[in-house]
Structure formats: C-alpha cells, structure tokens
Amino acid sequence: MNKVILIGNLTKDPEISTTQSGISVCKFTLAISRRFTNAEGERETDFINIVTWRTLADNCHRFLKKGSKAAVVGMVQTRSYEGNDGTKRYITEVVADEVEFISTKTGESRSSDGEDKASSHKDEVSTLEPIDDNDLPF
C-alpha cells in the first residue's frame, strides 16, 4: 500500500501548467514541521513536493497561495532523469488524490471540491505551529 497523509504550509504560490494534451498539472511544496525537537531543541522542517492533476490542479491553483495550510492525501512517487552534467538525479514527490484547503486566499476553510467545512474541524487542525516565512530556505 502506498498512501500518505500530510498537513503543512505552502512555501510559495502553486505553479500550474498544461500538458500537450491539455491536462492541468499544479505543483507546490508543503513545509511540514517534525513532531520532535533535534539535539539543539529546535523543530526541524521537511519540504515535500506535491503534484495535482486536472480539476484538483485548477482548484489548488485558484485557492492556495504561499503560507496557506493544506492537508494532502496521495501516494509517494519517485522518478529519475539525467542532469545536464550527466549525473542521474532522483525526484520524490506526492501525487495528491485529495487536498483539503485548511486556509485559503480568502481565509475560508474549504475542501478541494468547494464544500465548506465545519469550524470545529478548522479549530482541530489549527493546533499546528505556523511556519515563519523567514525560516524557509528560499
């Protein structure tokens, strides 16, 4: 079984493009703080690349922005390619089946199908620590 569930904040605005056959693809990166602190007492952050397709891609591009909090359900995918210098490079990303918009451009809590979510769910998820833009490596 290959299934992941992630909740984090977008590191920058999502990027959307269209394949040659006209299918929308949207890519963004989630910053996710680890549950435990390191030896220096600091919480480390992982940066996970997310890919969405078709209508979900259009909705992610429309409703998400840098700093938005999102929950993603999908599968891990790895691929490789040869770089310009001849070395083999690997990419690991999550192909999302579902994206829950916990905070959006308009500040509303909505699912990827546009359905409003109960405020109790928003309060339950809001216990995560916000990520300061100054802590991002870009």
pLDDT tens over the chain, length 138 residues: 999 999 999 999 999 999 999 999 999 999 999 999 999 999 999 999 999 999 999 999 999 999 999 999 999 999 999 999 999 999 999 999 999 999 865 555 445 555 544 333 334 444 445 556 566 555
CATH class label, 4-128: mainly beta
CA dihedral (112, 113, 119, 124) positive or negative: negative
User: What does the alpha-carbon distance between residue 114 and residue 7 come to, in Å, rounded to a whole number?
Assistant: 18
Instruction: Write down the H helix ranges in the chain.
Output: 54-63, 119-125
- Give the angle subtended at the CA of 66 by the CAs of 60 and 68, to the nearest 5°: 65
The answer to whether the beta carbons of residues 35 and 19 sit under 8 Å apart is no
- According to the model, what pLDDT value does residue 123 have? 40
For the beta carbon of residue 32, count every other beta carbon within 10 angstroms: 18
- According to the model, what pLDDT value does residue 112 have? 52
User: What does the alpha-carbon distance between residue 60 and residue 99 come to, in Å, rounded to a whole number?
Assistant: 8
- Residue corresponding to tokens 């690349």: 49
Residue 56 DSSP code? H
- According to the model, what pLDDT value does residue 103 have? 85
